[in-house]
Amino acid sequence: MDITKSILFEPAKIKNNHLRDRFVRSATYDGCADKNGHVTEKQMDLYTALAESGFDALEISQGLGGLNGEGTEFRTKINVLAREAYFRNGCRQIKNQVDVPVMMVGRLRTCELMEEIIQKKEADLISLSRPLIREPGIINEWKRGDRHRAKCISCNHCFEGLMKRKGLRCFQEERRQRYSQ
Ligand SMILES: Cc1cc2nc3c(=O)[nH]c(=O)nc-3n(C[C@H](O)[C@H](O)[C@H](O)COP(=O)(O)O)c2cc1C
Ligand code: SF4
């Protein structure tokens, strides 16, 4: 066996994605964000180093840190547009520093805002977590022209349920369905 050759390091095309190799960096608490979850210079250096070391894309987040929802990467109380996109500034800064695709995550709920972010080249990709737990089919609905705001209210009950081993589901949606029967 030629140890200099491995499928792990070969470029691949999977569906429409061109990959340089078969590695991704798993979501990892890096402890670099400040106590409010804002991107710091230390974090900028980390992401720049990751980009320079050959990663195909970066998701700008803070890892599982902070306290009581508000200080974490999955913050609560997001019912207004002004509270969407909490990693926007940090993401924009890092995007300016690196030449690999950057993914923005964190309370993105409104198509118009996501479109603006991509148009202004503040990120290359939009990353969603809780909206897809509440509405797994939302991307197809948006594609078909139903551009409603994601119904997820960022209460984090899905995360708490997961921690209590109740499985991954949206408790708000379950309750809504129960009362609408
Ligand atoms: C149920 C649940 C599980 C999550 N698990 C992880 C995890 O294991 N590692 C991680 O870095 N982030 C995790 N996250 C955070 C998400 O990846 C995402 O960064 C965060 O929820 C903000 O995006 P959103 O507003 O679209 O939900 C989790 C979030 C939820 C709701
Ligand atoms: S339980 Fe539902 S509404 Fe609450 S954060 Fe999770 S997906 Fe969103």
CB proximity list for 31: less than 8 A, separation 6 or greater: 63, 65
- Which CATH number characterizes residue 117's domain? 3.20.20.70
Specify the range with the lowest mean pLDDT, choosing from 23-27, 38-42, 68-72, 123-127.
68-72
Q: Is residue 133 part of a domain?
A: yes
User: Which secondary structure element, helix H or strand E, spans residue 12, and what is its range?
Assistant: strand 12-14
- The model carries a pTM of 0.84
> Which residues line the pocket of ligand 1, CB cutoff 6 A?
27, 61, 63-64, 73-74, 105-108, 128-131, 158-159, 162, 168
Total domain count, the chain: 1
| Span 42-85, pLDDT tens digits | 888 888 998 888 888 888 876 545 455 555 666 666 566 666 78
Classify 6 as helix, strand or coil. Answer: coil
Q: Is residue 171 part of a domain?
A: no
Q: Give me 64's structure tokens.
A: 């599982």
Q: Is residue 163 part of a domain?
A: no
| Mean pLDDT to the nearest integer, 23-33 | 72
| Span 87-118, pLDDT tens digits | 888 889 889 999 888 998 888 999 999 999 99
- 151 pLDDT more than 90: yes
Q: Is residue 15 part of a domain?
A: no
- DSSP letters of 48-93? HHHHHTT-S-EEE---S-SSTTTTSSS-S---SGGGS-TTHHHHHH
* C-alpha span between 96 and 135 (Å, rounded): 32
Mean pLDDT of the chain: 83
Q: Is residue 6 part of a domain?
A: no
- First-to-final CA distance of the chain: 62
Residue 78 CA to ligand 2 center (angstroms) comes to 11
Question: What is the residue range of 132's domain?
Answer: 27-155
Q: Is residue 104 part of a domain?
A: yes
Q: Is residue 3 part of a domain?
A: no
Q: Give me 105's structure tokens.
A: 């995550």
Q: Is residue 147 part of a domain?
A: yes
Which amino acid belongs to residue 86? Y
